[in-house]
Amino acid sequence: MEFKANWIRPAKDLGDVCPVFKKEWKIKKPLKKVELYLTALGVYEAEVNGKRVSGYVLAPGWTAYEMRLQVQRYDVTELVREENILTVIVGRGWMRSPMPGFVEAEYKKKRMEQPCGLWGELHLTYADGSKEVLASDETWEYGESAVRFSEIYDGEHYDATFDTTLWSHALRLDWQTDILMMQEGEEIREIERIGAKSVFETPAGERIVDFGQEITGYVEFCVDAKAGERIRILHGEVLDKNGNFYRDNYRDAKAEIQYICKEGGQTYHPKLTFFGFRYLKLEEFPKKARPEQFKAVVVCSNIKKTGHLSCSDPDVNQLFSNIFWGQKGNFLDIPTDCPQRDERLGWTGDAQVFVKTATYNYDVEKFFTKWLHDMAAHQRKDGGIGQVIPDLLDAGNPSAAWGDAAVICPWQIYQTYGKKQILEDQFDCMKKWVDYITGATTVPYLWAGGEHFGDWLGLDAPSGSYKGSSREEFIATAFYAYSTQLLVKAAKVLGKDAGEYEQLYQNIVETFRKTYPEYLTQTEHILAVHFRLAKDLQKTADDLAEMIKRDGSQIKTGFVGTPYILHVLSEYGHSDLAYTLFLRKEYPSWLFSVKQGATTIWEHWDGIMENGDFWSADMNSFNHYAYGSVADWVYEKAAGIRPLEEYPGFERVLIKPMADKRLNWLEASIDTRNGKIASKWICTPDGIRYEIETAVPAEVEIGDMKMEVAPGTYTFWG
């Protein structure tokens, strides 16, 4: 589509105040349709004649703005009258906020100083077939809005007594239009509202609102107040061990709402920002606050739930809930690490370790397609992939297991949804990443040199380190091999010549085996087996099992080893030990945080320690989805729903459940592109009953029984 609009901006700097742009027009003859095309440098909220044009919030979302900026199309025909006013408030959003909060650099300062900009067109189609376009230009006006301040980290200030009465003509803004593209990702939506569970006073005398669930979004409150009365609200994830409000882990993010009341009853929620929180601290609030005055509005990308997990253990069910909530809370237009502190970035390592679970829990094909296109756009000239996408850390060195998201994520999207297009789109990016490693290493066929995150947050880390004790170059070379192997597979799917990379893969494996004849940590054993690099896979898995038992039957792994540890144990005859780790309730374990009251997945196994103290204040998120990757083991091994690589999109599956009598029953299902696959096992006095539902042909393995079944519902005993 050919557009005519110009970028426009306020004629003067409004400081912290968010501008509101206005276009007035009259309808000259009978209308058939009115469409609004809109985007902004920042985030916006648009109304026609006082009514929202869409439920899309935080539009236009977050992309690699320098190269890709989404345009939204809205059908506003039903909102149009004879005389009309379009208004658009524009906030800083991701583009012009001080992101990331922990970096001070010239490129960050430059982003923050970018001007506010709006681009839009109204397309009027008349009943007689004629058309008219009202494109943004100097005839559009702007003024100060009631949003007196808004940005991603620090929150929003709103003055309900303010009316925009002074309007001036906008100026043209010299900004690119060749970067504009129609909406590609999922829209960000308000998907749920949760009422407050309680309002109470802490031992320190603080007024606290508790929603009983950590969410990403914002609070909506109603109040009866006098004009000029002020409301001030702070957000927090947890209480401290004394039951007082805690927010040190937000670091420099103020995460604050300030609201100046108008006279009488009123309802408000922030328009142009979001928060991660469970608790609110009411610093200022008129009269006595009651639970019914507050609702937590859950905001995330409009992804459809496709997975279901449930079992007989309430603690494990809470873990499942935490995993789903962690994904919702961090899938807000990009896969973020956390939604609350002065970060909220698209960390590539977090995304790749969780991508399989993500695709089973929700339909994220569209979501990841857009993010991976941003990754390709931000790929560096030498083929390196930034630590975060969009790449706001452009001075950061590419790291193994983080940059490998360039290969792992598109391959998984292809495997789950069965469409080659994602591999077509990303193949050059995948190839350039492998070539980057080949060019960056100081030793051929290893990934030597460079800077890496290692087994991030591994519990075997030496004192003072976050990186675990696994050798960084071991991890880097293992992922070098894995990404090369996946690149070869992708090339074959696309009918491309993979000979050069097949040879490269063989050379990496041979060199790896010579260089690393022994494995020193749990994670080193895990990677050697899972990536099929060890000469003797069974022995290495057995050695891993013995090491875990010597370690007290507990995990020592971090971000790199944790996603695969239970898979390796289950695949090589140690499913009982896998269940021991999975069902463990003492620290360290998945269920330790559950016993501590978690409602989402934590960044650290002991974010809140056994004595009630916090792990730290500087890096301690209580909504960090990466360790929720254990869910793909529950789907694939515990419940036994195993997609077959040669049949992408679940065209055919292997169903091979692994029951454990420490649970009375367990069930899982995935709504795939080819229909629902479900598996349940129940421990009874007569044995274990297996109930299977499959919409596709399936290979079933239960104990020594192996058979092929057509689509249908089946019951087996084992």
CA distance 23 to 49: 11
* Per-residue pLDDT at 672: 98
* Per-residue pLDDT at 363: 98
Label residue 464 by pLDDT band (50, 70, 90). Answer: confident
**Which pair of structure tokens corresponds to residue 493?**
């799917």
Average pLDDT value for residue range 199-225: 98
Taking a C-beta distance cutoff of 8 angstroms, is the pair 445, 391 a contact?
no
Is pLDDT of 485 > 90?
A: yes
What average pLDDT does the chain have? 97
End-to-end CA distance of the chain: 60
Q: Tokens 């003492």 — which residue? A: 586
pLDDT digits (tens, 9 = 90+) for 151-207: 999 999 999 999 999 999 999 999 999 999 999 999 999 999 999 999 999 999 999
* Per-residue pLDDT at 352: 98
Phi-psi region of 640 (alpha: psi -120 to 50; beta: other; left: phi over 0): left
- Write out the DSSP string of 9-58: E-SS--TTSPEEEEEEEE--S-EEEEEEEEEEESEEEEEETTEES-S--S
* Per-residue pLDDT at 41: 98
Which secondary-structure segment (H or E) carries 411? Answer: helix 405-417
Average pLDDT value for residue range 22-44: 97
Instruction: Name, in order, each residue with C-beta under 8 angstroms of 387's C-beta and a sequence gap of 6 or more.
Output: 347, 348, 349, 393, 396, 397, 398, 399, 402, 403
* Per-residue pLDDT at 107: 85
Query: Domain spanning 189-301 has what CATH number?
Result: 2.60.120.260
How many C-beta neighbours within 10 Å does residue 312 have? 14
Is pLDDT of 396 > 90?
A: no
Average pLDDT value for residue range 488-511: 98
Is pLDDT of 388 > 90?
A: yes
* Per-residue pLDDT at 285: 98
**Sign (positive/negative) of CA torsion 559, 329, 397, 529?**
positive
CA distance 503 to 685: 54
* Per-residue pLDDT at 28: 86
Same topology between domain 304-638 and domain 653-717: no
Q: Which of 195-209, 267-281, 409-423, 451-465 has the lowest mean pLDDT?
A: 451-465
Residue in 232, 266, 235 with CA at minimum distance from that of residue 248: 235
- Looking at the chain, the whole-number percentage of residues with pLDDT higher than 90 is 96
Q: Which of 144, 214, 343, 571 is catalytic?
A: 343
pLDDT digits (tens, 9 = 90+) for 567-607: 999 999 999 999 999 999 999 999 999 999 999 999 999 99
Is pLDDT of 128 > 80?
A: yes
Q: Answer whether 0.85 is exceeded by the pTM.
A: yes
Residue in 523, 557, 559, 515 with CA at minimum distance from that of residue 540: 523
* Per-residue pLDDT at 236: 98
Locate the domains of the chain by residue range.
Answer: 8-185, 189-301, 304-638, 653-717
* Per-residue pLDDT at 30: 95
pLDDT digits (tens, 9 = 90+) for 133-144: 999 999 999 999
* Per-residue pLDDT at 204: 98
**Which pair of structure tokens corresponds to residue 19?**
């501008």
CA distance 616 to 594: 19
- Write out the DSSP string of 321-374: HHHHHHHHHHEESEE-S-SSSS----BHHHHHHHHHHHHHHEE-HHHHHHHHHH
Residue 116 DSSP class:
P
Taking a C-beta distance cutoff of 8 angstroms, is the pair 351, 405 a contact?
yes
Instruction: Please confirm whether the linkage preceding 517 is cis (ω < 30° from 0).
Output: no
Label residue 4 by pLDDT band (50, 70, 90). Answer: confident
Taking a C-beta distance cutoff of 8 angstroms, is the pair 390, 334 a contact?
yes
Three-class DSSP labels, 667-688: EEEEEECCEEEEEEEEEECCEE
Is pLDDT of 208 > 80?
A: yes
* Per-residue pLDDT at 578: 98
* Per-residue pLDDT at 465: 85
Q: Which of 186, 603, 636, 667 is catalytic?
A: 603
Residue in 44, 36, 58 with CA at minimum distance from that of residue 89: 44
CA distance 532 to 362: 29
User: Strand 334-335 and strand 331-332: pairing?
Assistant: antiparallel
Three-class DSSP labels, 634-661: HHHHHCCEEECCCCCCCCCEEECCCCCC
How many C-beta neighbours within 10 Å does residue 397 have? 14
Residue 535 DSSP class:
S
Interhelix angle 575-583/537-550, nearest 10 degrees? 40
Label residue 2 by pLDDT band (50, 70, 90). Answer: confident
Question: Looking at the domain 653-717, which fold is it?
Answer: Maltose phosphorylase, domain 3 (2.60.420)
* Per-residue pLDDT at 88: 98
pLDDT digits (tens, 9 = 90+) for 249-288: 999 999 999 999 999 999 999 999 999 999 999 999 999 9
Query: Domain spanning 8-185 has what CATH number?
Result: 2.60.120.260
Q: Is 546 helix (H, G, I), strand (E, B) or coil?
A: helix
Q: Tokens 């010549």 — which residue? A: 497
Is pLDDT of 372 > 80?
A: yes
Label residue 463 by pLDDT band (50, 70, 90). Answer: confident
Q: Which CATH number, 1.50.10.10, 1.10.8.50, 1.25.40.10, 1.10.3720.10, labels domain 304-638?
A: 1.50.10.10
Q: Decide if 343 is catalytic.
A: yes
Taking a C-beta distance cutoff of 8 angstroms, is the pair 257, 233 a contact?
yes
* Per-residue pLDDT at 650: 98
* Per-residue pLDDT at 540: 98
Q: Largest Cα–Cα distance in the chain?
A: 82
Q: Decide if 645 is catalytic.
A: no
Label residue 50 by pLDDT band (50, 70, 90). Answer: very high
pLDDT digits (tens, 9 = 90+) for 58-75: 999 999 999 999 999 999
Nearest-Å Rg of the Cα atoms of the chain is 27
- Write out the DSSP string of 583-647: H--SSSSHHHHHHTT-SS--SSTTSB-TTS-BS-SSS--S--GGGGGGHHHIIIIIS-EEE-TTS
* Per-residue pLDDT at 261: 98
